[in-house]
A and B are shown apart, each in its own frame.
Chain A
Amino acid sequence: GQQLNQSPQSMFIQEGEDVSMNCTSSSIFNTWLWYKQDPGEGPVLLIALYKAGELTSNGRLTAQFGITRKDSFLNISASIPSDVGIYFCAGQLRSNYQLIWGAGTKLIIKP
């Protein structure tokens, strides 16, 4: 079946540092989405990308939809403590609109 390779699996950073994570797949997706999940909560949508090559920002977050439709990255600038959590990428199949999820990137900010 379809799989997304999300990396890194976890990141330990200092407050104020920039963060970069990405997802790749052998499958072509119609849409790429980035969600964040806090402990004990459900995922919350951060950014949705609909066009190949699209670059979208949401505050300190920037995400891009790869030109081949097989990959995406998410950058967080000047990290703050509330950025801690697990970030998931998800690709949406054009055939049936099903979402395929990555395994997540756990962001930990060192005190």
Chain B
Amino acid sequence: GDSVTQMEGPVTLSEEAFLTINCTYTATGYPSLFWYVQYPGEGLQLLLKATKADDKGSNKGFEATYRKETTSFHLEKGSVQVSDSAVYFCALTSGGYNKLIFGAGTRLAVHP
């Protein structure tokens, strides 16, 4: 079945460092791809999305490009802040019922 694989965390960075969180997927058909963020004690928030190959999603300084040839959707940010500390989930929609399948999540900790 369809699945999402994310790099294991935790990822620990200093403020203003460059961030990459790797995400690859396996899917039949042409899924839409998403990054969600979960801050401590909260629900998931949609961070960005891409719906077709070569689309770039962006929001709050984060970016990810839908790469069909490598089945990847890596999350990047040029300069992280302490407030970016959270768990990041890569996800895809699967099947006719819009089922959202998540990766295992990657915890990011940013230190001053």
* Chains A and B form a bound pair: no
Interface residues of A (CB under 8 A from B): none
